[in-house]
């Protein structure tokens, strides 16, 4: 799979403020949009960034140019998402304007966008580690294949997923960025190991099959995750609970860390 780029996860519809505006204009825009900061534009060129904290103890008539941050860190749309993550978390900046070679505003990438790109990340190491675990626990010798699996056949092993993360997976599927799910296939059963958000997102979009790493266990044995699914009364993806207002634990932890810093 190609590397994930900033352009794949950034927000394209960006609210900005004009350099000729005042602090009151920014305050009004904060109330209107509920955003906490905006790129500052001068003739379509990004020249700064202004946030709510820049407006503390500032008179409403103060020009934006006087209070905006001019030490601007920006991202390129072709930038590797992991490089953007390093910049965001090492600098403590929550949002990076994304610009072209002439510094024209193209979008914005936030720490939440970066986190969304990493949750449920599938790597070959993850797949092979799981195969190793199966070998040790059940004394089996699974085969690994790559193919598509019908969504209706998936036995979920996770009882809850998160609405905010589900929206991210829907976005990725629409843009062709979704990674394969991981399943264990054994006689009469296709067990979903990793990729519950992706699977539910695909089902919501009306997709009937997903790309998958297929771990084929030919021995007719019941796996522990099957017993867990049975104990949670999970039979199909429809049984997975979607938490509308709960934040993904990784997102919540990151927000706490950012606020603490």
**pLDDT tens sequence across 197-208:** 999 999 999 999
Residue 55 has pLDDT above 90, yes or no: yes
For the segment 100-119, the average pLDDT, to the nearest whole number, is 84
For the segment 209-238, the average pLDDT, to the nearest whole number, is 92
The CA distance from 161 to 246, in Å, is: 9
Range in 124-133, 213-222, 251-260 the model is least confident about: 251-260
Residue 115 has pLDDT above 80, yes or no: no
The CA distance from 159 to 168, in Å, is: 19
Q: 110 by DSSP, 3-state: which?
A: strand
- Note the pLDDT of residue 121: 63
Q: What are the sequence ranges of the domains in the chain?
A: 6-117, 120-250
CATH no. for 6-117: 3.10.580.10
- Note the pLDDT of residue 260: 45
Question: What is the percent of the chain where pLDDT is above 70?
Answer: 90
For the segment 63-89, the average pLDDT, to the nearest whole number, is 89
Residue 151 has pLDDT above 80, yes or no: yes
**Neighbour count for residue 170 (Cβ, 10 Å):** 18
Q: Tell me if 6-117 shares its fold with 120-250.
A: no
CA distances in angstroms from 240 to 114, 135, 198, 232, listed in the order given: 26, 28, 12, 10
Among candidate residues 76, 123, 134, the one with its CA nearest the CA of residue 100: 76
For the segment 4-9, the average pLDDT, to the nearest whole number, is 85
Question: What mean pLDDT value characterizes the chain?
Answer: 86
Q: What angle do CA 143, 148, 149 make, to 5 degrees?
A: 85
The CA distance from 85 to 23, in Å, is: 30
Among candidate residues 233, 147, 159, 161, the one with its CA nearest the CA of residue 190: 147
Residues 6 or more apart whose Cβ sits within 8 Å of residue 231: none
Residue 1 has pLDDT above 80, yes or no: no
Residue with tokens 């600098």: 91
Q: What is the pTM of this model?
A: 0.58
Architecture of the domain delimited by 120-250:
Alpha-Beta Complex (3.90)
For the segment 38-45, the average pLDDT, to the nearest whole number, is 93
Among candidate residues 18, 7, 38, 14, the one with its CA nearest the CA of residue 100: 7
Range in 17-21, 164-168, 238-242 the model is least confident about: 164-168
Quick one: residue 109, left, alpha or beta (phi over 0 = left, psi -120 to 50 = alpha)? beta
CA distances in angstroms from 237 to 195, 212, 242, listed in the order given: 11, 16, 10
253 vs 73, residue with greater confidence: 73
Residue 249 has pLDDT above 60, yes or no: no
For the segment 84-89, the average pLDDT, to the nearest whole number, is 84
For the segment 191-218, the average pLDDT, to the nearest whole number, is 94
- Note the pLDDT of residue 113: 80
């Amino acid at each position: 799979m190609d590397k994930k780029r900033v352009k794949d996860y950034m927000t394209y519809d960006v609210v900005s403020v004009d350099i000729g505006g005042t602090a009151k204009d920014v305050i009004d825009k904060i109330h209107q949009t509920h955003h906490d900061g905006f790129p500052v534009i001068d003739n379509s060129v990004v020249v700064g960034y202004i946030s709510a904290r820049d407006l503390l103890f500032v008179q409403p008539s103060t020009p934006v140019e006087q209070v905006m941050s001019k030490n601007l860190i920006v991202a390129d749309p072709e930038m590797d998402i992991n490089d953007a993550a390093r910049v965001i978390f090492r600098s403590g900046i929550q949002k990076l304007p994304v610009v072209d070679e002439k510094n024209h505003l193209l979008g914005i990438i936030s720490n939440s966008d970066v986190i969304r790109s990493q949750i449920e990340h599938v790597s070959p190491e993850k797949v092979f580690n799981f195969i190793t675990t199966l070998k040790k626990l059940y004394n089996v010798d699974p085969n690994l294949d790559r193919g598509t699996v019908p969504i209706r056949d998936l036995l979920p092993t996770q009882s809850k997923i998160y609405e905010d993360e589900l929206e991210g997976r829907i976005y990725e599927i629409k843009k062709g960025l979704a990674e394969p799910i991981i399943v264990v296939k054994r006689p009469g059963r296709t067990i979903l190991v990793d990729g519950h958000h992706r699977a539910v997102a695909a089902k919501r979009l009306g997709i009937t099959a997903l790309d998958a790493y297929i771990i084929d266990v030919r021995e007719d044995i019941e796996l522990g995750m099957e017993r867990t699914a049975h104990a949670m009364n999970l039979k199909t993806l429809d049984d997975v609970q979607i938490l509308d207002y709960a934040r993904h634990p990784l997102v919540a932890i990151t927000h706490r860390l950012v606020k603490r810093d």
